């Protein structure tokens, strides 16, 4: 099958080539799929996409008109693909439902410990030969209350690490996970989680019901000085409200691997261009905010898993079979917790 792989970079292309083992004819491009780059897919039957690509209604319609039947997402999250339009057009869309959840959970922990123990500042001071410790006091995670929003694969992996630190772990999730309770997680409402946690880590998908899940009322209910981590999707936090909460001194520190306007910004070299996103510039300006550019997945094990499952999806389709990872448009579920007014 002839496949165009959009948004492939130096760090993931070789994994796809190795996993494919010559089975498919690949066209690689580091360009994102947008309306403008659709023509690159001429002559292909399938596209494979990453989170920065845009599989919107407009784009899918044009791809379908060109004969594209298959869309293999190289991600767990599928908020960038219009599943309703895809199924109406008879396209098959599949994701990678699981790959090393440890990659994301461990990155969340790395960010937590970096802001807590002031590692970035410490490194800068070290380079200046300033060996004073005056501004570097952190806190023990041991004995703290950690709230996990979403106890799927990544949330559970994060919880296990937090138990290793000796933390008390709370969670909010509309779907009760018995593995979580078996580990000692206490399920509570989102409101209780927010008001009780010293550290909050977000691990739910971006859907209609989780968009802006954290806005002004949620930020206002957080414990003063608490740490907020988001390695999931930027749209789950309302950035404008987050900026106000940081400025008001409510939140102690923020760790973000994702940003709601990251498409076209992350994964690209913008060194010679002006960053016109003032919210992003403000976020970067705070010394208690740590931002990484959607790199939580970036481990050897995760890249291997993503490539292998992507090729597996393409293999099924090349034989005209249904892949077990195909996605179907589903009605949006309502979270069980009471919204915070």
183 close to 167: Cβ distance less than 8 angstroms: no
DSSP secondary structure code for residue 38 in this structure: G
Among 14, 123, 209, 287, binds ligand NAD (CB under 6 A): 209
3-class DSSP assignment, residue 327 = coil
- For residue 155, the minimal CB distance to ligand NAD (Å) is 6
Burial call 188-226: b when 16+ CB within 10 Å, e when fewer: bbbbbbbbbbbbbbbbbebbeebeebbbeebbebbbeeb
Q: How far apart are CA 27 and CA 260, in angstroms?
A: 29
| HSE, side-chain direction, 13 A CA sphere, residue 326 | 18
- Of 58, 233, 301, 341, which is the active-site residue? 233
- For residue 148, the minimal CB distance to ligand NAD (Å) is 9
Name residues contacting ligand NAD, limited to 88-117 (CB under 6 A).
Answer: 101, 104
- For residue 222, the minimal CB distance to ligand NAD (Å) is 16
- For residue 39, the minimal CB distance to ligand NAD (Å) is 29
- Cβ nearer to ligand NAD, comparing 108 with 243: 108
The reply on whether position 283 binds ligand NAD by CB under 6 A is: no
Closest CA to 256 of 287, 292, 296, 213: 292
Per the annotation, the verdict on 98 as an active-site residue is no
Among 62, 139, 205, 211, binds ligand NAD (CB under 6 A): 205
The reply on whether position 154 binds ligand NAD by CB under 6 A is: yes
Closest CA to 222 of 243, 193, 244: 193
Q: How far apart are CA 159 and CA 169, in angstroms?
A: 7
**By Cβ distance, which residue is nearest to ligand NAD?**
152
Among 54, 85, 95, 231, binds ligand NAD (CB under 6 A): 231
The reply on whether position 170 binds ligand NAD by CB under 6 A is: no
Q: How far apart are CA 91 and CA 72, in angstroms?
A: 11
The reply on whether position 74 binds ligand NAD by CB under 6 A is: no
Q: How far apart are CA 79 and CA 55, in angstroms?
A: 9
The reply on whether position 76 binds ligand NAD by CB under 6 A is: yes
The reply on whether position 297 binds ligand NAD by CB under 6 A is: yes
Per the annotation, the verdict on 322 as an active-site residue is no
Per the annotation, the verdict on 300 as an active-site residue is no
The reply on whether position 293 binds ligand NAD by CB under 6 A is: no
Site size toward ligand NAD (CB under 6 A) is 31
- For residue 146, the minimal CB distance to ligand NAD (Å) is 15
The reply on whether position 155 binds ligand NAD by CB under 6 A is: yes
The reply on whether position 306 binds ligand NAD by CB under 6 A is: no
Angle at the Cα of 153 from the Cα atoms of 332 and 235, rounded to 5 degrees: 45
Q: How far apart are CA 120 and CA 261, in angstroms?
A: 25
- For residue 220, the minimal CB distance to ligand NAD (Å) is 19
Contacts of 326 (CB under 8 A, 6+ apart): 92, 93, 94, 313
Question: E-assigned strands of 196-324?
Answer: 199-202, 226-230, 251-256, 289-291
Q: Which residues are catalytic?
A: 233, 262, 294
**Residues at the site binding ligand NAD, with contacts judged by CB under 6 A:** 76-77, 101, 104, 149-155, 172-175, 177, 203-206, 209-210, 231-233, 257-258, 294, 296-297, 335
């Amino acid at each position: 099958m002839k496949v165009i792989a959009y948004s492939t970079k130096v760090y993931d292309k070789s994994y796809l080539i190795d996993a494919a083992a010559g089975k498919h004819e690949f066209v690689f491009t580091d360009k994102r799929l947008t309306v403008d780059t659709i023509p690159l897919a001429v002559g292909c039957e399938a596209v494979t996409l990453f989170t920065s690509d845009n599989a919107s209604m407009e784009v899918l319609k044009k791809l379908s008109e060109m004969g594209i039947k298959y869309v293999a997402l190289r991600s767990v999250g599928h908020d960038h693909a219009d599943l309703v339009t895809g199924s109406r057009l008879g396209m098959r869309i599949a994701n990678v439902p699981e790959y090393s959840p440890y990659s994301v959970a461990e990155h969340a922990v790395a960010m937590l410990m970096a802001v807590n123990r002031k590692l970035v500042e410490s490194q800068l001071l070290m380079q200046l030969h300033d060996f004073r410790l005056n501004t570097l006091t952190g806190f023990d995670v041991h004995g703290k209350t950690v709230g996990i929003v979403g106890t799927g694969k990544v949330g559970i992996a994060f919880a296990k690490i937090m138990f290793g630190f000796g933390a008390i772990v709370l969670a909010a999730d509309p779907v009760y996970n018995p593995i979580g309770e078996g580990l000692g997680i206490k399920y509570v409402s989102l409101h209780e989680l927010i008001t009780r946690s010293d550290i909050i880590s977000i691990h739910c998908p971006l859907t209609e019901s989780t968009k802006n899940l954290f806005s002004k009322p949620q930020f206002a209910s957080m414990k003063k000085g608490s740490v907020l981590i988001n390695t999931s999707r930027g749209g789950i936090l309302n950035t404008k409200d987050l900026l106000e909460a940081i400025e008001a001194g409510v939140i102690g520190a923020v760790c973000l691997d994702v940003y709601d306007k990251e498409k076209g910004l992350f994964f690209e070299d913008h060194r010679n261009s002006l960053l016109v996103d003032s919210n992003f510039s403000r976020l970067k300006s705070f010394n208690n905010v740590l931002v990484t550019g959607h790199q939580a997945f970036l481990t050897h094990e995760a890249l291997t898993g993503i490539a292998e499952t992507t090729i597996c999806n393409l293999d099924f389709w090349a034989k005209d079979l249904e892949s077990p990872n195909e996605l179907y448009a589903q009605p949006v579920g309502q979270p069980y917790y009471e919204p915070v007014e």
